[in-house]
């Protein structure tokens, strides 16, 4: 029994890949997508159980606007029109997906932890990143288990402040990543793996 359970988990993590060829074909209704993301984020462990991950799901027009307007405008502001031109195909590919999940960390909670436990102050921002990564990977695996394709993007350095204004989010939210998901129209690319023995060593 435990073996069956763990092989299900192994299958799920082995099936998780980066998929860029996405379309808007429906797999699940929006409320079920929201529920899946809530369940994934809910189970992500965090240091001292601080639960600092905050997630915003952009669907429909909000998703389209992010990739067709917010990202190009932010890119244009820092790198000019040529950078927007160079990224056009890629951004259009993201817009072709069903939605975007914005992963934030609430830094107010992390600062609170640093004040409460000064002896671990240097660790909390790192553990906050770990927690966010866990929330992201749970979400990624869960969505791909339901038949979606996903890819992970990092335009937050350009768009984080704008997103907070547009969606009236707390100032303390720090954008970590954007997960694009949709119907997987094209398979994942080739992927190479290092020798397992180089990455995992055992002493006994
Ligand atoms: C922390 C992290 C950051 C990543 N950042 C990006 C990114 O900004 N843009 C992108 O297209 N892919 C990004 N990726 C996807 C990786 O390139 C991809 O996971 C890796 O090549 C392995 O391929 P796979 O996801 O198909 O297993 C990121 C992945 C991780 C885990």
Rg of the chain in Å (alpha carbons): 18
Specify the CATH number for the domain of residue 172: 3.40.109.10
CB 27 within 8 A of CB 147: yes
Question: Do the domain assignments include residue 109?
Answer: yes
Instruction: Give distance in angstroms: CA of 114 to centre of ligand 1.
Output: 30
The answer to whether position 9 is within a domain reads: no
Rounded Cα distance between 204 and 7, Å, is 26
And the tokens for 125? 């921002």
Residue 3 has pLDDT above 80, yes or no: no
Indicate whether 80 belongs to any domain.
yes
Kindly state whether residue 48 falls inside one of the protein's structural domains.
yes
How many Å apart are CA 56 and CA 103, to the nearest integer? 7
Question: How many folded domains does the chain comprise?
Answer: 1
Q: Does 74 reside within a domain?
A: yes
Residues in the chain: 204
85, 138 Cβ separation under 8 angstroms: no
| Ligand 1: lining residues by beta carbon, under 6 Å | 17-18, 151-154, 188, 191
Is residue 204 included in any domain, yes or no? no
3-state secondary structure of 104: strand
For residue 144, pLDDT beyond 80: yes
User: What is the 2 CA–ligand 1 centroid distance (Å)?
Assistant: 30
With H, G, I as helix, E, B as strand and everything else as coil, classify residue 182: strand
Q: Residue 9 pLDDT more than 50?
A: yes
Mean pLDDT, rounded, of the chain: 97
- Expressed as residue numbers, the domain containing 80 is 18-186
Residue 151 lies in a domain: yes
Does residue 91 carry a pLDDT above 70? yes
Confidence of residue 14 (pLDDT cuts 50, 70, 90): very high
Residue appearing with tokens 């547009």: 166
Q: Looking at the CA of residue 17, tell me the nearest atom of ligand 1.
A: 26
Residue nearest to atom 20 of ligand 1 (CA): 18
Quick check: is 179 in a domain? yes
């Amino acid at each position: 029994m435990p073996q069956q359970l763990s092989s299900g988990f192994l299958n799920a993590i082995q099936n998780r890949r980066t998929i860029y060829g996405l379309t808007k074909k429906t797999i699940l209704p929006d409320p079920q997508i929201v529920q899946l993301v809530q369940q994934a984020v809910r189970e992500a462990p965090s240091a001292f159980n601080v639960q600092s991950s905050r997630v915003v799901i952009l669907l429909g027009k909000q998703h389209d606007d992010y990739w067709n307007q917010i990202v190009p405008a932010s890119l244009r502001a820092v790198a000019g029109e040529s950078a927007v031109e160079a990224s056009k195909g890629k951004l259009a590919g993201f817009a072709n997906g069903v939605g975007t999940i914005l992963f934030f960390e609430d830094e107010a909670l992390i600062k609170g932890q640093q004040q409460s436990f000064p002896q671990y102050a240097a660790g909390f921002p790192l553990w906050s990143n770990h927690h966010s990564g866990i929330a992201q990977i749970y979400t990624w695996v869960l969505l791909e288990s339901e038949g979606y394709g996903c890819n992970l993007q990092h335009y937050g350095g350009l768009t984080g402040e704008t997103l907070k204004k547009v969606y009236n989010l707390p100032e303390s939210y720090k954008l970590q990543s954007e997960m694009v998901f949709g119907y997987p129209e094209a398979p994942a690319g080739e992927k190479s793996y290092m020798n397992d023995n180089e990455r995992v060593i055992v002493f006994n």
